[in-house]
Amino acid sequence: MFQTAYRLAGLSLASALACMAAGSANAQLLTHKDISLGIATTMATTAIETCKGQGYNVSVHVLDRDGQVILGLRNELAGAATMENSMKKAYTARTFRRPSGEFANSVKGNPLAGALMLTNIVAAQGALPIKVGDDVIGAIGVSGAPGGDKDEACAKAGLDKVAADLK
């Protein structure tokens, strides 16, 4: 009888503790790693210079976790549309958590895909997600090279430059 009582008491104590623990865990704030302006600047200038080294005048955008612009840079000789396009490519890579070129391939067979109707989404190669492990914390997009693959190569150069800091 006592034993049962103790057991029940023990159980409820354990449950109470478990609930408290769960409560505490839920009440904790979310801890994020985010891109600093310093890292974004290194990424973007590296991408611009890599493309310039190949004779391509491009614009570059680095977006944060929320898809907001941290840095937008326009090479003075880049085409007028490249600023908008690099931002939209980066937004697409950020929100779909994959290279914008992969998204472009995925909608090739479905030109009326709903995602294409969303604001700032563009089916064009040239942007890559920025990751810490599997966590996508932003994206870098490039526009202006003669081909999305060349834009993407410059974006990758920017990512590679700061790879050691993305942890």
Partner 1 sequence: MIGTARLLAGISLAFACAATTTANAQLAVHKDLTLPIALTMAQTAAQMCTAQGYKVSVHVVGRNAEVLVAMRGDDANPHTMENSMRKAITSRMQGRPSGDFVTALKDNPTAGALHLANQIPAQGALPIKVGNEVIGAIGVSGSPGGDKDEACAKAGIDKVADQLK
Q: Which is nearer to partner 1, 83 or 157 (CB)?
A: 83
Residues that contact partner 1, how many (by CB under 8 A): 16
The piece of 13-21, 63-71, 99-107, 137-145 that touches partner 1 (CB under 8 A) is 63-71
Q: How far is the CB of 55 from partner 1 (least distance, A)?
A: 16
Contact (CB, 8 A) for 111 and 15? no
Question: For residue 121, what are its two tokens?
Answer: 């989404």
Helix (H, G, I), strand (E, B) or coil at 125: coil
- Helix boundaries (H) for 54-165: 82-96, 100-106, 148-161
Which positions from 72 through 111 interact with partner 1, judged by CB under 8 A? 72-76, 80, 83
Binding test (CB under 8 A) with partner 1, winner from 8, 69, 81, 118:
69
Q: How far apart are CA 94 and CA 149, in angstroms?
A: 18
Least separation in angstroms between CB 81 and partner 1: 11
Selected range binding partner 1 among 25-33, 70-78, 121-129, 134-142, rule: CB under 8 A: 70-78
* In contact, 100 and 126? CB cutoff 8 Å: yes
Question: Of 105, 103, 106, 107, nearest to 88 (Cα)?
Answer: 103
Work out which of 54, 68, 105, 110 binds partner 1, going by CB under 8 A.
Answer: 68
- Site map for partner 1, 21-60, x if CB under 8 A? ---------------xx---x---x--x------------
Position 66, amino acid: D
Q: In the Cβ-directed half-sphere of 118, how many Cα atoms lie within 13 Å?
A: 12
Query: Residue from 71, 121, 130, 140 that binds partner 1 (CB under 8 A)?
Result: 71
Q: Tokens representing 136?
A: 């996508």
Site residues (vs partner 1, CB under 8 A): 36-37, 41, 45, 48, 68-76, 80, 83
